[in-house]
Amino acid sequence: MKAVILAGGLGTRLSEETSLLPKPMVEIGGIPIICHIMSIYEKAGITDFIICAGFKQHIIKQYFINYTSIYSDIHVDLSTGNINIIKNNSKLWNVTIIDTGLNTMTGGRLGRIRDFVNDETFLMTYGDGVSDINVEETIKFHQSHGKKATVTAVRAPGRFGDLELNGSHVENFSEKNEGSKSRINAGYFVLEPSVLDLIENDETIWEQKPMRTLAQSGQMEAFLFNGFWKPMDTLRDKRYLDELCETRQAPWLEME
């Protein structure tokens, strides 16, 4: 099963960092947040990733092209340019990086990687949220209900979009209802490939018409999660996540 990570946005609310880097490459505890997210999936045995890149996508590509040499012991023969890996400390990940456009919306980015999911159930999340979620449990839950989509639902401030639930059944989705304390979309989706038929073009926003259509047609269920989840939306969020790593209190790392 493949995990798709949306990593192409401008990250304007974190402009202190994203003026130089794409948001998923902003470091938490000295490691790009996208690698933290990929490690969360790895704990469930997911090692095949599709990264939907866009803004400063070359930085993401360069990082993974050089990943093995960055984290491994190497010998470089400067006279020939030959590089030998002495001890390979890199991850056993397969990473596909697709330039899905600079201004493409979230749904449009999914539409652009349709050919890479191979008509199989796939996972999807955003490139800026860490959690101690058990991804394997979300997959089992998805398989148990047989619907087209599973969204992870957490409790968070109303600056996020609301999920209207009846038990675990998603009946509607409303984007950014201020002041609400209900369950909200935390990403960490499990999706059937047929959901991609709801993507009309690059302008399609996944969190609007596609999610609402799935909800209103009874094809979306919520995995109710009460553990740790935190998106890195602002510099304050980044500092908080950094502090958790530095003090060894990061719940998503404690899973290891």
Handedness of CA 121, 97, 231, 162 (dihedral sign): negative
Which of residues 35 and 173 earns the better pLDDT score? Answer: 35
pLDDT digits (tens, 9 = 90+) for 217-238: 999 999 999 999 999 988 999 9
pLDDT digits (tens, 9 = 90+) for 34-87: 999 999 999 999 999 999 999 999 999 999 999 988 888 999 999 998 889 998
What topology does CATH give the domain 2-76+87-154+188-204+231-251? Spore Coat Polysaccharide Biosynthesis Protein SpsA; Chain A (3.90.550)
Which of residues 17 and 243 earns the better pLDDT score? Answer: 243
CA separation for the pair 21, 10 (Å, rounded)? 9
Q: Residue 70's closest CA among 86, 89, 52?
A: 89
Domain parsing of the chain, residue ranges: 2-76+87-154+188-204+231-251
Contact 11, 54 (CB under 8 A): no
pLDDT given at position 19: 78
